[in-house]
Chains A and B, each alone.
Chain A
């Protein structure tokens, strides 16, 4: 270390729950390494965090690093200078152990400017143990047909609403993207990631909307705009049987005092029976600062974020899986769900079935994402809209938002 004490100013949206706990733990590590940890969690929604980031960038005072993800990294990197991390990434030999799709997002102009911190799949299927018992089912569903059958079974077993999802915008998006990717990851990639016009109007997307409708009908309509977390108790108690959610729900469940053996996590339904991975990765982008202590802090932070031990610690708190594919998940502290997620990622990458999540802003920039989610959430909430109509609306939305 040089003469200066490394210092890091960071803004993120993680303020509470397991996310808050994880970032706090990261901060502790940073301080253990002799740094000064100045983290400003922004309460509220992502928008508030971005407002703050924008305000600071406009003011010429960006944080040393800030939470940002997906294509937004590329968009934002154009409005303010970022730090070139290539050297430190190379030194850590990090590139080899990161999924290539993911790596691409973090080096938009060919240089590393941001580092992913953890990975989730947004389409993991959570099965309530008690719910399964109630429905006398023992096998997790693999295809959407299996899923639908199981849901019906649960319903006849007395569960009014077999699916425990919530009603927020990303939640509605997840219902749709899980359906779509499970039906055809190829069509998903073409339509939602590449915005291919033909794929956007193809039969797969229509089938995805139809499947989404089924899921929506099995959800508690009373949840309104509340998050899925409202339903967790009913889910664990077996009043609801299934939940399509990212791995972060494990952290929430843990935080709420539920046990790992209350539920099972499996990859979301995939009609070709090979796991589909809807990639969602949180990341930090590093903004150029002149101050020596901040620069030192940025290097220290980068090293920490890439450190397998730190990634292990972090993922174990939040329920995600490490970005590094070379972390061993067989040890204590990892759940079956995490192991299965990691395995799914490996398989999906192998079969080219790892795609970027739309609902969590990994597939498109915010403006486009929001326009698409508008259509999806309206569809979810309004069962009078037919799938074909939804398809054409989605295509229109893409057209006008581009």
Chain B
């Protein structure tokens, strides 16, 4: 079974006292890096609390003089995209409606397929698996038009269902890869024991494999969720008006070239739109790293 590598102690068993000065240096470097990594987030958060004039008068980087909480209200339900002045709220809902089902489907199907490929060898499995994982590398731009034609032919153009379908199928590349790499480490004897017990393909998956899969499912869920949530190209092309995902609304806000920039509202909208994925990383990040370890390095 893949072991949780990130959990306990580790590292060089350094002797604590003799390294005192170099430990100070380590903390210094780490702190500097952390500051650099946090900087963009901090800037956006600060700007989301500053009025536009304030930003224009100084720079993008600065402490808010008056907390402009209004930016959030405006971003959430105020600013206008075309005739609708509903902020990004409805678009958040759309994103959720696309992201949640697509994440669930691609994860579940990927888990079943990864399980089949890794634990139930069948003829040609390596080829199929190889091709599917190559999908990770196929550029998005190449797929836009073919998808258009496919969606037209199956009558799903301009529907959220179509987007869910696209993300499910494309997501399989990732989920199959990671699930397979994870399941490969599960002892085959478990499957054998279950077969002797009389369990079939699905019962083994459902009762034995799935309960063991939480580390990798967390990884795929996090990965799929953030990627689908952040996706923009398909979202804009294949949905219309009030059905568009939140990334489209963000672009509308930031790419409005014919307008004076509203950095404050824009920042607030960025924060709100990124909140779901940020929270997922905040709470799931530790499992993410653990599962990534189990699923990636093979």
Q: Which of A's residues lie within 8 Å of B, judged by CB?
A: 11, 14-20, 23-24, 27, 37-45, 48, 51-52, 54-56, 58-61, 168, 227, 229-230, 232-233, 248, 251-252, 255-256
Measured CA separation A222–B89 after assembly (Å): 34
CB pair A23 B82 closer than 8 Å: yes
Say how far A161's CB is from chain B's closest CB, in angstroms: 16
User: Which B231-280 residues have a C-beta within 8 angstroms of A?
Assistant: 236-238, 240-241, 244, 248-249, 251-253, 255-261
Q: Which residues of A contact B249 (CB under 8 A)?
A: 43
User: Which stretch of B7-15, B120-128, B150-158, B199-207 is in the interface?
Assistant: B150-158
Q: Which residue of A23, A52, A59, A61 has the most chain B CB atoms within 10 A of its CB atom?
A: A59
CA distance A59 to B238 in the complex (A): 11
The answer to whether B257 touches A20, judged by C-beta atoms less than 8 angstroms apart, is: no
Q: How far is the CB of B59 from chain A (nearest CB, A)?
A: 11
What would 7 more interface pairs be, CB under 8 Å, given A43-B252, A48-B237, A168-B257? A16-B253, A37-B83, A39-B241, A41-B82, A43-B249, A43-B253, A59-B157
* B81 proximal to A (CB < 8 A): yes
Answer yes or no: B28 CB below 8 A from chain A CBs.
no
Q: Which of B81, B157, B251 contacts A61 (CB 8 A)?
A: B157
> Taking A14-B82, A27-B83 as contacts, is the C-beta distance between A43 and B258 under 8 angstroms?
no
CB of B237 within 8 A of CB of A52, answer yes
The answer, yes or no, to whether B289 is at the interface (CB within 8 Å) is no
Q: Report the Cα distance A102→B272, complex, angstroms.
A: 45
**Is A15 in contact with B82, judged by CB distance below 8 angstroms?**
yes
Contact B148 A252 (CB under 8 A): no
CA distance A23 to B243 in the complex (A): 19
- Scan residues 133-191 of chain B and give those whose CB is less than 8 A from a CB of chain A: 144-145, 148-149, 151-152, 157-158
A-B contact pairs, 13 of them (CB 8 A): A11-B240, A16-B80, A16-B252, A24-B83, A38-B241, A43-B252, A43-B255, A44-B248, A44-B252, A56-B157, A58-B149, A229-B259, A255-B259
CB pair A18–B238 under 8 Å, yes or no, is: no
B151:A59 contact, CB within 8 angstroms: yes
Residue with the greatest number of chain A CB neighbours at <10 A, chosen from B82, B151, B253, B256: B82
Give the chain A neighbours of B253 by CB distance below 8 A. Answer: 16, 43
Q: Is B56 located at the chain interface by the 8 A CB criterion?
A: yes
Known A-B contacts A39-B82, A43-B249; A229 and B152 likewise in contact (beta carbons under 8 Å):
no
Decide: B260 and A41 in contact? CB cutoff 8 A: no
A18 surroundings in chain B (CB, below 8 A): 258-259
Cα–Cα distance between A59 and B241 once the two chains are bound (Å): 17
- Contacts of A16 on B, CB cut-off 8 Å? 80-82, 252-253, 256, 258-259
Among A45, A58, A256, contact of B260 (Cβ-Cβ < 8 Å): A256
Complex CA gap A41/B81 in Å reads 8
Please indicate the chain B residues that have their CB under 8 angstroms from the CB of A45 in the complex.
255
Q: In the complex where A16-B80, A39-B241, A51-B144 touch, is A61 in contact with B252 (Cβ < 8 A)?
A: no
Tally of contact residues, B, Cβ under 8 A? 31
A14: chain B residues within 8 A (beta carbon): 82
* Residues of chain B whose beta carbon lies under 8 Å from any beta carbon of chain A: 56, 80-83, 144-145, 148-149, 151-152, 157-158, 236-238, 240-241, 244, 248-249, 251-253, 255-261
| A59 surroundings in chain B (CB, below 8 A) | 148, 151-152, 157-158
Q: Is the CB of A39 within 8 A of B83?
A: yes
Residues of B within 8 A of A61 (CB): 157-158
Q: How far is the CA of A61 from the CA of B241 in the complex (A)?
A: 15
Q: Which of A42, A58, A229, A255 has the most CB of B within 10 A?
A: A42
Please measure, in the bound complex, the distance between the C-alpha atom of A88 and the C-alpha atom of B248, giving whole angstroms. Answer: 36
A55 in complex: contacting residue of B148, B244, B251, B256, CB < 8 Å: B148
Residue on B with the closest CB to A258? B260
The distance in angstroms between the C-alpha atoms of A59 and B253, with both chains bound, is 28
CB distance from A112 to the nearest CB of B (A): 27
A66→B31 CA distance, assembly (Å): 53
Q: Is the CB of A229 within 8 A of B252?
A: no
**A37 CA / B82 CA spacing, docked (Å):** 12
Q: B158 to A17, Cβ gap below 8 A?
A: no
Q: Which residue of B lies closest to A50 (CB)?
A: B237
Residues of B within 8 A of A252 (CB): 258-260
Which of B251, B252, B258, B261 has its CB near the most chain A CB atoms (within 10 A)?
B258
With CB as the reference atom, state the residue of chain A lying closest to B256.
Answer: A16
Q: Within 8 Å CB of B240, what residues of A?
A: 11, 40, 52
Taking CB atoms, residues of chain B closer than 8 Å to A251 are 258
Q: How far is the CA of A15 from the CA of B241 in the complex (A)?
A: 10
A297 to chain B, nearest CB (A): 16
**Given the interface contacts A16-B81, A168-B257, A233-B56, does A55 sit within 8 Å of B157 by beta carbon?**
yes
Taking a contact as CB atoms under 8 Å apart, the answer to whether A20 and B260 are in contact is: no
CB distance from B110 to the nearest CB of A (A): 27
Report the Cα distance A27→B258, complex, angstroms.
20
* Distance, CA A168 to CA B236, complexed state (A): 22
B165 to chain A, nearest CB (A): 15
- The residue in chain B whose Cβ has the minimal distance to the Cβ of A25 is B83
Do residues A60 and B259 form an inter-chain contact, with CB atoms below 8 A? no
A291 to nearest B CB, angstroms?
Answer: 15
A302 to B228, CA, bound (A): 40
User: Does B252 contact A15, Cβ atoms closer than 8 Å?
Assistant: yes
- Least CB separation from A55: chain B residue: B148
> Which of A20, A37, A227, A256 contacts B81, CB < 8 Å?
A20
How far does the Cβ of B18 sit from chain A's closest Cβ, in whole Å? 50
Residues of B within 8 A of A43 (CB): 81, 236, 244, 248-249, 251-253, 255
Choose among B145, B236, B238, B258 the residue that contacts A17 (Cβ–Cβ < 8 A): B258
Closest chain B residue to A249, Cβ basis: B258
A45's nearest neighbour on chain B, judged by CB, is B255
Assess whether A19 is in contact with B144, with CB atoms less than 8 Å apart.
Answer: no
Point out which of A18, A20, A27 has the most chain B C-beta atoms below 10 A from its C-beta.
A20
Q: Do B237 and A55 touch (CB < 8 A)?
A: yes
Top 3 closest A-B pairs, CB basis?
Answer: A43-B252, A17-B259, A41-B82
**B262 → chain A closest CB, angstroms:** 9
CB-defined contacts of B236 to chain A, threshold 8 Å: 42-44, 48, 51-52
Interchain CB contact under 8 A, B144 and A227: no
Chain A hits for B144, CB < 8 A: 51
Q: Is the CB of A41 within 8 A of B258?
A: no
Known interface pairs A48-B237, A61-B157. Does A54 touch B260 (Cβ–Cβ under 8 Å)?
no
Cα of A39 to Cα of B238 in the assembled complex, Å: 15
B152/A58 in contact, CB under 8 A: yes
